[in-house]
Amino acid sequence: VSPELPSPLQMQRRTGRKWRRYGPDVLPAWIADMDFLPAPAIGEAVMEAVATGDFGYGPTTAASGVPEAFARWARRRWGWDVDPAWVQLMPDVVGGLANCVEALTEPGDGVLVQTPIYPPFLATVAAAGRRLVAHPLVDGRIDLQDLDRTLRARPATLLLLCNPHNPTGRCFTVDELQGLLEIAETHGLTVVADEVHADLVYAGHRHIPFASLSPQAARRTVTLNSASKAFNTAGLRTAVWVASDPGLRARLLALPSTRWNAFSTIGVRATLAAWSDEGEEWLHGCVGHLQRMRGLIGERLACAPVKAAWTPPEAGYLAWLDFRGSGLGDDPASWLLDKARVALSPGPEFGAPGQGFARLNFATSQDVLGQILSRIEQALLSDRVEASR
Ligand SMILES: Cc1ncc(COP(=O)(O)O)c(C=O)c1O
C-alpha cells in the first residue's frame, strides 16, 4: 500500500520549511522531508500523547524502550546484533555528528568525509575548527588506493561515513566497507557512521551497518540512526547513537548531558511505533512507492529532449542529477528555481564535486513528481530554443 498523501488543504496548513520557504507557485523538492502522511501507528502514538497530556519530561534512555526496539530492528532489518546497553537517545543525527566530532577529536585534527556530501558534514567540521579532509567519490564509488594516498599526505583521526550515502544514494558494498575498514585500521581512524537512510534501500541492494562488519569494525565505530528519514518524523527530534566500545561510550557520555538528553517525549513514542511490526508494514509500502517514483524519473530522463544524467539511487529518495551537459553553470538549482519554479538542493553546497549538480527529492505523489519533471523539461527546452535563435 502506498503511503497516503495529505490533501492540498492539509499541505497548506503545514508549517515545515519544505512547504513554506518558497511561494505557492514553487514546487518544493529540496530538504529531505517526504510529503506523505505518517504511518498510522505513528499517528496513533502521537494522538495517545495528546490524549493523555504526555508533554512533560520524557523517560530516560534506559526506561524508554527505544534501545530494545532498536536492537530488535537492527537484527531484523540488517542482521546486526546490538546490545541495548550500547544505545543512547539523542535529539537528532546532525547534532550527534557535531557531538562526536567534539568528543572524539582535538582541534586541528583531520576529519575525513567523502564528497559530494550532505552539507552539515562539511559545516560540522568547519564549526568545530577541525581540518577537513575531503575525498571525492568516483561515480559514487570509493577509490580506496587514492584514499590511502590522500591520508598519507593529509592525516585524519575520524571518518564521518554516510552510508547509505547522501546525495549519491550509494549503498556501499561489503567489499567497499571492508576496504574502508582496512584503511581505518591502517590510519587509526575512528568511524562515525550516519546510517539514517538505512531503511530506504531498494531491491537488489542491502544495507550493511559498518559496525556489523566485524568486532574490529565495531570497536572503532559509533553508529547514528533515527526513524526520522524513513518514517518522516524529523520534527519529532529523536535519534540514537550506538557504540559497543566502552571507551568510545565514555568519551561521548563525558559531554554535558544536555547534548544528548533533549530528545522528545513524543518522539520516543513515535520511534517505538516506527520500529515495530506495524511500522515495518507501512515502510514496505513507502519504499515500494519510492521505488516507482525512482523508476518514473529514469523513464522521463531517458526520453527527455534535454541533458540531465543520473545514476539511480540504491537507497533514499534523493536523486543526484548531473546537469553539466545542459550549460546551466555551477548551480543548476538556482537556474531551475528561477526558470522552472521548482526548488531542488544546490549541488555546490555538497562540496566541490557538486558543481553542476542538483539534488531532487522525489518523496511525493506521482502527480507532483510528474509536474516537477515537466517544469524542468520545459524550462530546459525553452532555454535551448532561445539559445538557438
Ligand atoms: C545523511 C543524513 N544525516 C542526517 C540527516 C538529518 O537527520 P536529523 O534530522 O536526525 O539530524 C539527514 C537528513 O536529510 C541526512 O540525509
pLDDT at 295 over 90: yes
Confidence of residue 1 (pLDDT cuts 50, 70, 90): confident
Distances, alpha carbon 353 to alpha carbons 106, 112, 114, 141, 159, in Å: 27, 15, 10, 13, 19
- How far apart are the C-alpha atoms of 68 and 13, rounded to whole Å? 36
pLDDT of residue 386 exceeding 80, the answer is: no
pLDDT tens sequence across 160-192: 999 999 999 999 999 999 999 999 999 999 999
pLDDT at 61: 98
- Strands (E) in 95-170, as ranges, are 110-115, 131-136, 158-162
* Cα 262 to ligand 1 centroid, rounded to whole Å: 17
Q: Give CA 14 to chain center in angstroms.
A: 22
Per-residue pLDDT reduced to its tens digit, 119-138 = 999 999 999 999 999 999 99
Residue 305 has pLDDT above 90, yes or no: no
Distance in Å, CA 231 to ligand 1 centroid: 12
Predicted TM-score (pTM) of the model is 0.97
In this prediction, residue 86 carries a pLDDT of 98
Out of 30, 118, 122, 170, give the residue to mutate to test ligand 1, the one with the largest number of ligand atoms within 8 Å of its CB: 118
- Higher model confidence: residue 113 or residue 307? 113
**Residues 196, 95: contact at Cβ < 8 Å?**
no
φ, ψ at 341 (rounded to 5°) = 55, 45
The stretch 86-99 carries a mean pLDDT of: 98
User: Are 112 and 153 within 8 A, CB to CB?
Assistant: no
Predicted local distance difference test score (pLDDT) of residue 304? 75
223 alpha carbon – ligand 1 mean position (Å): 13
User: What pLDDT was estimated at residue 81?
Assistant: 98
User: Which of the four pLDDT bands, split at 50, 70 and 90, describes residue 358?
Assistant: very high
Residues with CB under 6 A from ligand 1: 32, 92-94, 118, 162, 166, 194, 196, 226, 228-229, 234, 239
- 388 CA to middle of ligand 1, Å? 42
Question: What whole-number distance in Å separates Cα of residue 230 and Cα of residue 199?
Answer: 6
The dihedral through the CA atoms of 108, 109, 114, 119 has a sign that is negative
The whole-angstrom distance between residue 168's C-alpha and the CA centroid of its chain comes to 10
Atom 13, ligand 1: residue with shortest CA distance: 32
Mean pLDDT of 81-100: 98
pLDDT score, position 385: 72
Q: What is the pLDDT of residue 302?
A: 87
Tell me the CA–centroid distance for residue 67 and ligand 1, in Å: 20
Query: Measured between alpha carbons, how far is 332 from 321 in angstroms, rounded to an integer?
Result: 9
Tell me what pLDDT residue 140 has.
96
Q: Out of 199-203, 354-358, 376-380, which region has the weakest mean confidence (pLDDT)?
A: 376-380
Atom number, ligand 1, closest to the C-alpha of residue 165:
1
Retrieve residue 2's grid coordinates.
502506498
- For residue 181, how far is its CA from the centre of ligand 1 (angstroms)? 23
Percent of the chain with pLDDT over 70: 99
pLDDT digits over 9-59, tens only?
999 999 999 999 999 999 999 999 999 999 999 999 999 999 999 999 999
Q: Whose CA is nearest to atom 2 of ligand 1?
A: 196
For residue 228, the ligand 1 atom closest to its alpha carbon is 10
What is the average pLDDT across 146-164? 98
pLDDT surpassing 90 at residue 106: yes
Question: For the residues 217-235, what does the mean pLDDT come to?
Answer: 98
CA of 305 to the centre of ligand 1 (A): 34
Distance from the CA of 196 to the center of ligand 1, in angstroms? Answer: 6
Please identify, by atom number, the ligand 1 atom nearest to the C-alpha of residue 31: 14
Cα separation, 107 vs 346, whole angstroms: 29
Strands (E), the chain: 27-28, 87-90, 110-115, 131-136, 158-162, 190-194, 221-225, 239-242, 318-322, 342-343, 345-346, 357-361
Residue 374 banded pLDDT, cuts 50, 70, 90: very high
Ligand 1: nearest atom to the Cα of 318? 16
> Residue 388's pLDDT is what?
74
Q: Which residue has the higher pLDDT, 385 or 164?
A: 164
The pLDDT-based confidence of 239 (bands split at 50, 70, 90) is: very high
State the sign of the Cα–Cα–Cα–Cα dihedral 191, 194, 199, 204: negative
From 30, 34, 94, 259, the mutation candidate for ligand 1 (largest count of ligand atoms within 8 A of CB) is 94
| pLDDT above 80: residue 387 | no
Alpha helices per DSSP H over 14-65: 17-20, 40-52, 61-64
pLDDT of residue 114: 98
- Using the mean position of ligand 1's atoms as its centre, give its distance from the Cα of residue 141 in Å: 21
Looking at residue 257, its pLDDT comes to: 96
pLDDT of residue 119: 98
Confidence of residue 384 (pLDDT cuts 50, 70, 90): confident
Q: Tell me: pLDDT of 347 over 80.
A: yes
Rounded CA separation 382/379 (Å)? 5
pLDDT at 379: 93
Q: Which ligand 1 atom is the nearest neighbour of the CA of 226? A: 10
pLDDT of residue 373: 96
pLDDT of residue 209: 99
| Among protein residues, the one whose CA lies closest to atom 7 of ligand 1 | 93
142 Cα to the center of ligand 1, angstroms: 21
Residue 389, pLDDT > 90, answer no
Question: What pLDDT shows up at residue 142?
Answer: 97
Pocket test for ligand 1, best of 100, 160, 170, 194 (most atoms within 8 A of CB): 194
Confidence check: pLDDT of 344 > 80: yes
* CA distances (Å), origin 196, targets 6, 46, 262, 384: 24, 21, 19, 39
Q: Which of 245, 247, 235 is nearest to 211 (CA)?
A: 245
